[in-house]
Chains A and B, each alone.
Chain A
Amino acid sequence: DAGVTQSPTHLIKTRGQQVTLRCSPKSGHDTVSWYQQALGQGPQFIFQYYEEEERQRGNFPDRFSGHQFPNYSSELNVNALLLGDSALYLCASSYGTGTIAFFGQGTRLTVV
């Protein structure tokens, strides 16, 4: 039983570029949440997808957008990258909203 998988594991982008990160949830899970974790900080909630719709959103600008596919996998898109977007991006899946989430290993994004 595969857990939560994220791709790629590492990524380097230039300021102003756009990036897409991908997440496959744990088998049986239908909800995907995305978090941004800056160095030395706890994960900060970006948004949550359930039934292919964004159900909740944290305090992140519209440059951060996402999508959930019928197979429950999800993408996180960030436009017009800033240096401050450099972080570990974590995907977490759960069965239903508001339940225990299991995390992937994260994607380390570096913006130069």
Chain B
Amino acid sequence: GQQLNQSPQSMFIQEGEDVSMNCTSSSIFNTWLWYKQDPGEGPVLLIALYKAGELTSNGRLTAQFGITRKDSFLNISASIPSDVGIYFCAGIYSRDMRFGAGTRLTVKP
């Protein structure tokens, strides 16, 4: 099946630092999504990417759809304490959506 490898598994950073995480797959996807999940809540959509090479920003968040359609990255600039949570990448191909295992982000004030 289409497996997504998300890295790193966890990150511990200082408030104000920039963060980068990525997702790779051996299969291609038509759409890449990035979600954030707070404890006990459902994932919330942050950014959606629809075309290979596309670079999209949402405030301090920037994500890119890899040229090969097999990868995507998410950057968070100038992190703040409320950025804490688990970030998931998800890829859609045809009617199939698959999730990465998540990156757990901890921000130290």
Interface residues of A (CB under 8 A from B): 4, 6, 33, 35, 41-45, 48, 55-56, 88, 90, 92, 97-106, 108
Contacts and interface: CB of A to CB of B under 8 A. Distances in A.
Interface of B: 6, 30-31, 33, 35, 40-45, 48, 88, 92-102
A101 B97 contact: yes
A27 to B, nearest CB: 16
Given A98-B92, A98-B94, A100-B48, A90 B99 contact: no
A42 B45 contact: no
Contacts, number: 56
B34 to A, nearest CB: 11
A104 B100 contact: no
Contacts of A33: 97
Nearest to A91: B42
Given A42-B88, A42-B101, A42-B102, A97 B95 contact: yes
Contact of B96 (A35, A56, A88, A104): A56
Contacts of A100: 31, 33, 45, 48, 92
B43 A43 contact: yes
A106 B41 contact: yes
Given A41-B101, A42-B101, A100-B31, A56 B41 contact: no
14 contacts: A4-B42, A6-B42, A41-B101, A42-B99, A42-B100, A42-B102, A45-B99, A56-B95, A98-B95, A98-B97, A100-B31, A100-B48, A103-B42, A106-B41
